[in-house]
Chains A and B, each alone.
Chain A
Amino acid sequence: MQQLTFEVNGRREVVAVDVGETLLDCLRERLHLTGAKDGCREGECGACTVLVDGQPVDACLYPALACEGVSVRTVEGIGTPSEPSDLQKAIVEHAGLQCGFCTPGIVVVLTALLEAVPNPGRANIQTALAGNLCRCTGYAQIEDAVLSLASGAKDGL
């Protein structure tokens, strides 16, 4: 076990972690932040995505100890059910989620996208989502949600 000091959603955290521990296990098991999901543990599904110093990473492959001194942001740090971010609100309003298991990872990646590219087109959004699988929605309404933030308008069927 080694001590890890880092910032999670704006709070300083000090935890003891195993050497081979992933950031995902550290967040879920030690800090009880269960927003990031375990869908594969091999970097394929993106359900575990969190931001490390603003960059989206698969927490399932990210060494917890690599987080010394960094700032981590999880879906819990992006918005809450009663105070969702604009993106979270748009996703709900565009029916951009079904079972919701992929949704935290997708919210995190798209939050990073919108910080980097404030007015993304459909192609930008699709490229940003390459590392995130969603089995339920077929992605289109997630893309619509992001587009609505740019145009401010909701496109219909």
Chain B
Amino acid sequence: MDFIRTTSMEHTLSVLEAYGSAATLLAGGTDVFAQLPRGELTPGVLVHIMPVPGLSSVVLEGGAISIGALASHRRIAVDGALGGFGSLRQAAAQIGGWQTQAVGTIGGNVCNASPAADLLPPLLIHDARVALVSASRGERSLPVSDFVKGRHATAREADELVTSFLLEPPGTHTADIYLKVGRRSAMEVAILGLALRLTLDDRGRVAQARVATCAASPCPMRITAVEEILQGEELSADLIAEAGQSLRSSLSPIDDVRGSAAYRLAVAPRLLARAIEQTKVQIMLANSG
């Protein structure tokens, strides 16, 4: 195994081009250095990209927010520019402890594509796009929902570097939230994670709802069936119960050491109801203030 420290985008891309699938990109290393000793990774070369400048900023780019792939969880949790993306900040703030948040990156979290990746549900409800670049084919971007293809599987080609994530600012009368289920107050890989973005119209009806989950299917995903049930409706107890039922039947959780499938299914509708309740209150507070 070799170690190459890249200090520019061009350098990185040429190394990726040269080594192809033998290269493993190394950002914060919180996944890579956990996987190496377990033998889950056997790279020919580790390409350390943290020194590449300009990839960790959060900037406004033509009306959209661009988050650099090397932005740390801690950065995301506190960056004022992400005010409209509460769910993303909440998710970042609930990843591991300070030590993991200080070094773990959004690019690493998305590219690792764990079924329990906390940043993915918020990125999904905000229709985020991922930007990639390669030496031979240049830049491209695609929705995160298309990028994440399955458990630890993405649409990234071996010579591509993920550079940023692009999010459109949400409109008015909108609030979002990320709720994570774990047994302790922190340091939990999600037993279930749920992100909701809710927009209410003037009469308090659902103008738009976006729901995504993690740790309840092979990879994090949008739950459009639930969104459709909520769309255009008044948020009655019956509707929320119906949405909860639909959520249950949309999930395919497994039993694992963290929790049983039955538990995940029991929590999911309750969590959705809590998310609806809390976003509703946020919207009402924003309107009254």
Contact = CB atoms under 8 A, between A and B. Distances in A.
A and B: partners? yes
A65 B186 contact: no
Contacts of B46: 19-20, 63, 65
B185 interface: yes
B78 to A, nearest CB: 10
B50 A66 contact: yes
Interface in A8-50: 19-20, 22, 41-44, 46, 49
Nearest to B74: A55
Contacts of A42: 34
A55 B29 CA distance: 15
A99 interface: no
B33 A130 contact: no
B174 to A, nearest CB: 28
Interface string A111-141: 0100000000000000111111000000000
B1 interface: yes
A42, A52, A128, A131: residue with the most chain B Cβ atoms closer than 10 Å: A131
A46 B102 CA distance: 13
Contacts of A57: 99, 102-103
Given A19-B2, A42-B34, A57-B103, A66 B48 contact: yes
Contacts of B98: 56, 109, 112, 127-128, 130-131
A68 B5 contact: yes
Contacts of B1: 19-20
Given A42-B34, A130-B185, A65 B5 contact: yes
A43 B3 CA distance: 22
Interface residues on A, range: 20 to 34
B34 A130 contact: no
Contacts of B99: 43, 46, 49, 56-58, 109, 131
Nearest to B27: A66
A41, A57, A63: residue with the most chain B Cβ atoms closer than 10 Å: A63
A61 interface: yes
A61 B33 contact: yes
A143 to B, nearest CB: 14
A62 interface: yes
Contact of A63 (B29, B102, B185): B29
B36 A132 contact: no
Interface of B: 1-3, 5, 26, 29-30, 33-34, 36-37, 46, 48, 50-51, 74, 96-100, 102-103, 185-187
25 contacts: A2-B3, A19-B3, A20-B1, A20-B36, A20-B37, A22-B33, A42-B34, A43-B96, A55-B74, A55-B102, A56-B99, A56-B102, A57-B103, A58-B30, A62-B29, A62-B103, A63-B26, A65-B5, A65-B48, A66-B26, A68-B5, A109-B98, A130-B187, A131-B100, A131-B187
Sort A-B residue pairs by CB-CB distance and give the 9 closest, nearest first. Answer: A131-B97, A130-B186, A130-B97, A55-B102, A61-B33, A19-B3, A58-B99, A131-B99, A19-B1
